[in-house]
Amino acid sequence: MHNVQRAITIRNHQVILQGELLFQRDQSTPNARFFSELYKELKLTYPKFFKMDPLAKLGFLAAELLLNSLSAEEKEEMKILLACSHSSIESDTMFQNTISDESNYYPSPSLFVYTLPNIVIGEIAIRHRIYGENGLYLTPPNNKKSIIETLHKQIKWEDNRYALIGYLDYYKNKYEVDFYLIHS
C-alpha cells in the first residue's frame, strides 16, 4: 500500500507499532484486562473508555497509538474508514440476553447504543475531534486484506490529507486490529 505513514497491529495480546513490539501480555490474560492494562500503559485519563464495548475499546486504543503525533488541525478533516467482520455481535448478544428472558428483562440504552458497529468510529472521532468522512464496512473474515485495499483506493480518490483506514474484529473472545494512517 502507498502512503502509509504509520501502521499498528494488535492481536494475541501483542501491540506492534511500525513493526516493533510495543507492549505484550501473557496469552492467558483475559481480553478485558489486556485492554485495561494497555490503557494504563498509555497513561490515558479518559473515563469514557471504561463504558465502551470491546470492539470500541479495541479501535480506540489502536487509534490512540496511531494518531498521537498529529496536531488538531491535521486531525480535523481526517477520514475514518474501517471494516470489520462480525459487526457488533458481542454487544448484540449481550443486548439480546437482556430481552430474551421474561423474568429477567432489563434492556438499557447504554448497551443498545453499542449494537451498532460504527460506534467505534464515533468514539475515535469524539476523542480526536475528527469531523471528516466516516464509514463502517462489513466483510467476510477471509476478505480482510482485500477490503483494506478497497478502502485505501477510496482514500486516494479525494485529496484529503490524512486518513485512518483498517480492519478490526471482536468475536467469541478473539480480537484483532490492523490500522493504517495514510497521508496523501
Residues that bind other proteins (CB under 8 A): 80, 85-87, 89, 92-93, 95-96, 99-100, 102, 105, 107-109, 112-113, 115-119, 121-123, 125-126, 128-140, 143, 146, 150, 153-154, 157
Which C-beta is closer to other proteins: that of 19 or that of 140? 140
Dihedral angle computed from the Cα positions of residues 50, 56, 62 and 68, in that order, rounded to the nearest 10 degrees: -70
Minimal distance, residue 137 CB to other proteins, in Å: 6
Minimal distance, residue 183 CB to other proteins, in Å: 20
Which C-beta is closer to other proteins: that of 13 or that of 92? 92
- At residue 181, the 3 state secondary structure works out as strand
Minimal distance, residue 182 CB to other proteins, in Å: 16
CA distance linking residue 132 with residue 129, whole number of Å? 9
Rounded to 5 degrees, what are φ and ψ at 23? Answer: -160, 140
Q: Any residues with CB less than 8 A from the CB of 86 and at least 6 apart, and which?
A: 169, 170, 171
Which C-beta is closer to other proteins: that of 24 or that of 134? 134
- Other C-beta atoms closer than 10 Å to the C-beta of 135 total 14
Q: Hunting for cell 500503559 — which residue is that?
A: 41
Which C-beta is closer to other proteins: that of 157 or that of 173? 157
